[in-house]
Structure 1
């Protein structure tokens, strides 16, 4: 059977796409290939594609918004796959404003989901820099984190049910919005985070949360990561669950913004060595007043020396613009090696203190360390010094990554906090992952995808 002819017979003409624009990941490190790019509009069309792929043993690479950073959306070698884009499955199928649930298709863009929830007085709290282009199917496939994990959990904590298509074309529908449902194995949590290697998620029933009556933010200067950790504990003690996000930002992030942009308003001159961006969502009370009281206690305890507290929504957006534009500044500088790691929250200060000395044994670098301090997730990125480019250090990339990941593992952390394994970290998973868990993963993969057609080479070595 000729798979391309069979696809053309099974799908309408408008389901086919030109391959350009689908075959390179955002950092330019991976170049993919595709025999064809298809964009089904219904779950039945997705099932038809997978049945044909199963019959012909043709690889399938699911594709969301293309924003992944570990190469999971690309297949650079081997037989050319069918790239299956969910971009046409963007519908919001149902909204229950009483129960606070929403059923969305996998191609729905995260920002559109936010808008639909807010129109009904709810929030879908998964928030990240790429929300204007990231699609919910890809976010489910990687179990994305974002800035609000400290309060609302990861993506899997926001999903009540899913619809998916397995490797042989079988449709699995567990979209029920029930909060309690113990009818057998929970395939939802098996497929979320599997990066398209066990099935293609086509829709999800999402859990919404009440919209806070008031929101606010503050950027507080702290003397050290140890003080930042103490400030986090103080904020949680004083404000409780109203703390929605707690971000750690190092001086190098401000330096990069000043060096290459984007142009954002930085309220400190000179830029501090460390600061924390705290975001609040309160049902009662004024966030600015709560943050002022927090700063007073933190200042008295030596945990904060300066700060800016948002007095309006515009001020809050300006503070968040600093944090959200640091990844773009990183991209413009060009990292040698970028790391999405997590360690136990209490180990963050030790990690930050220890890693530079170990890296200095390799060469002299600039380090931009920032991230979600509230949940232990750091983006620890290594850059060349001025006058050099990342290409000058290409031979050192493996050693840099091993240095960072070895320390992460020593501290009981994870070498993949929120971006997934993809193809970039397959060897790292084998090196640092628990052998028993890896054996179970391989057995599950073999059972659900015996022909290894679903995103082969991602997560597990093909």
Structure 2
């Protein structure tokens, strides 16, 4: 056993330093199976103090560290490289909810708490934590913060940056920054919190957070609406928002091709309308109002849209079971894409008003290069985030399509850039998009980001190879 392993075991306990291949394996492959790495050890600290001691040891020995939460990254952001020199710092043992303040509407948690547990704890306190993701049963708060996670309720509540008041962070040299404040106003300098949120574990290890809670909605109204296209979706969004205000919690868009694929692959998914529409949106309102009043408000908005021709058909859930069935369609997209085969995936955002133009332009551009390609488009239309996925035409096998994928991605990202959009709305850069950063970020942005990286992590040991390109690439 190496001296490093012995020293790590002295900090966290021998049982929490994993070195054999079988126990390491789940930590070394990303959720999508796209990236595989190697590690000197998997280290599982149980407290902030243990994280600090591990980081100080690794700083002294110049050992790279890859932080990992629930290992649900969509961009390889928590997977080490193949050198085997790094340790993977798994925070899943740090899973305590430290405090709930029902008066201040906050919850203080450790980074390894699974998102679903936060939701459940908020509900038990008659409060609401709005972040909702497909991976909420396994993703952790630390990972959500590192990627500035969004999900289906961003339209009303915002991303993790908006849902967080304070942080506790261990720096690369082992020092602890205790920023676990529950203050909603603090104008005493730079917002350090916001540097770490969305930094993908490249500046420090988030070990705790103060999260915002909200009054628990007592009423929901959910509708599945058939429309012509993304332009019709934007018009419907505008009219529903005008009538329903901030009661509008979710507005999810899916093309007809996307719906058809879901119904083909997901056995328990049922279309609540009579015929397959060209496109559809899933709308949800929530409020502390009584449910019949909320449903009447949604009915009024949809009646106006149907009479004006902005909607083709609509179904409003009559109870929670029907609402869950509507959401099953939307939540089945990720599973569908796995079953459908290798897709070229893109997680982009553009200004909401430009969404329809983007979809039309991107569809035309990729089809011109590869006739028969199948765009599978869905996402959070209300906040400008689309998951623009491409399945190969029938005449190409997966390997042939994989060779075409980089060129297709460039086309999609070029259309995004034309509209001053982003190539990563909520999945992060990780390993997947790091080489594209010089094309998609201005030189001064990359220079400032690299300067911050050098300030916090001068040796470049923290999550190397993620988010920022190597200096020679800028």
Is this a same-fold pair by TM over 0.5? yes
| Equivalent pair of 1:216/1:281 in contact (CA under 8 Å) | yes
Query: Are 2:236 and 1:231 aligned?
Result: yes
- Asked if the contact 1:383–1:390 (Cα under 8 Å) also holds between the matched residues in 2, the reply is no
Residues 1:395 and 2:403 aligned together: yes
1:289 CA displacement: 1.3
Residue of structure 2 in register with 1:360 after alignment? 367
Contact 1:362 1:399 in 2 (8 A): no
- Measure the CA separation in 2 of the matches of 1:461 and 1:75: 16
Q: CA deviation at 1:330?
A: 0.7
Q: Using the alignment, how far apart are the partners of 1:270 and 1:213 within structure 2? A: 32
In the alignment, does 2:447 pair up with 1:446? no
CA displacement, residues 79-108 of structure 1 (integer Å, 9 cap, x when unaligned) = 521000011001000000111100000000
Counting only pairs closer than 5 Å after superposition, residues 365-376 of structure 1 correspond to structure 2 as: 365-376=373-384
Q: Does the 8 Å CA contact 2:142/2:208 hold for their aligned counterparts?
A: yes
Map 1:265-280 → 2, pairs under 5 A: 265-280=270-285
Moved more, 428-437 or 164-173: 428-437
Which residue of the other structure, out of 223, 230, 234, is the alignment partner of 1:218? 223
Q: Deviations 1:182-221 (Å, cap 9, x if unpaired)?
A: 2322211000000000000001000111112201210111
Q: CA deviation at 1:359?
A: 0.5
CA distance in 1, matches of 2:451, 2:273: 54
Q: Contact between 1:150 and 1:374, CA under 8 Å: does it hold in 2?
A: yes
What per-residue deviation string (whole Å, max 9, x for no partner) do you get for residues 9-57 of structure 1? 2221232232111111122211121111011100000011111110111
Query: Helix, strand or coil for the counterpart of 2:447?
Result: helix
**Other-structure match for 1:253:** 258
Q: Which residue of 2 aligns with 1:150?
A: 155
Q: Tell me by how many angstroms 1:149 deviates.
A: 0.7
Deviation string, structure 1 residues 312-370 (Cα, Å, up to 9, x no partner): 11111111111011111011112331000001000011111111221123213111000
Partner SS for 2:251: strand
Alignment match, 1:428: 436
SS at match of 1:371: strand
Q: Is residue 2:13 matched to residue 1:12?
A: yes
Partner of 1:459: 467
Task: Give how far 1:257 is off.
Answer: 1.8
Given the alignment, which residue of 110, 132, 136 partners 1:131? 136
2:269 counterpart residue number: 264
Q: 1:87 aligns with which of 89, 92, 98?
A: 92
How far apart, CA to CA, are the structure 2 residues paired with 1:390 and 1:237? 45
Alpha-carbon separation, structure 1, partners of 2:124 and 2:394: 47
Matched, 1:244 2:249: yes
Shift of 1:389: 3.9
Residue deviations 1:233-279 (CA, integer Å, cap 9, x gap): 10110000000010111112222123322531221343211111001
In structure 1, how many angstroms separate the alpha carbons of the residues matched to 2:403 and 2:282?
36
RMSD: 1.3
Q: Distance in 2 between matches of 1:346 and 1:185?
A: 32
Q: Does 1:347 align with 2:354?
A: yes
Per the TM alignment, residue 5 of structure 1 is displaced from its structure 2 partner at its CA by 2.2
- Residue in 2 aligned with 1:110? 115
CA contact (8 A) 1:335 1:381 kept: no
Alignment of 1:60-209 (within 5 A): 60-209=65-214
Residues 263 and 270 of structure 2 are in contact (CA less than 8 Å); yes or no, is this contact kept in structure 1? no
Q: Is the 8 A contact 2:263 2:271 kept in 1?
A: no
Q: CA deviation at 1:434?
A: 1.9
TM-score (normalizing by structure 1):
0.97
Gaps of at least 5 residues in structure 2 are none
**Local SS of the residue matching 2:272:** coil
Alpha-carbon distance, 1:437 to partner:
1.3
- How far 1:387 sits from its partner (Å)? 6.4
Residue of structure 1 in register with 2:314 after alignment = 307
- Alpha-carbon deviation of 1:292? 1.1
CA displacement at 1:167 relative to structure 2: 0.2
- Does structure 2 retain, via aligned residues, the 8 Å contact 1:231–1:303? yes
Following the alignment from structure 1 to structure 2, what is the Cα–Cα distance between the partners of residues 193 and 15? 28
Deviations 1:388-438 (A, max 9, x none): 543231210110100100000011110010111101111211111121111
Q: 2:422 aligns with which of 411, 414, 421?
A: 414
State the secondary structure of the residue aligned to 1:8: helix
Quick check: 2:252–2:381 contact (8 Å CA) kept in 1? yes
Tell me how many residue pairs correspond in the alignment: 462
Shift of 1:130: 0.7
Q: 1:133 to 1:447 in 2, by over 3 A?
A: same
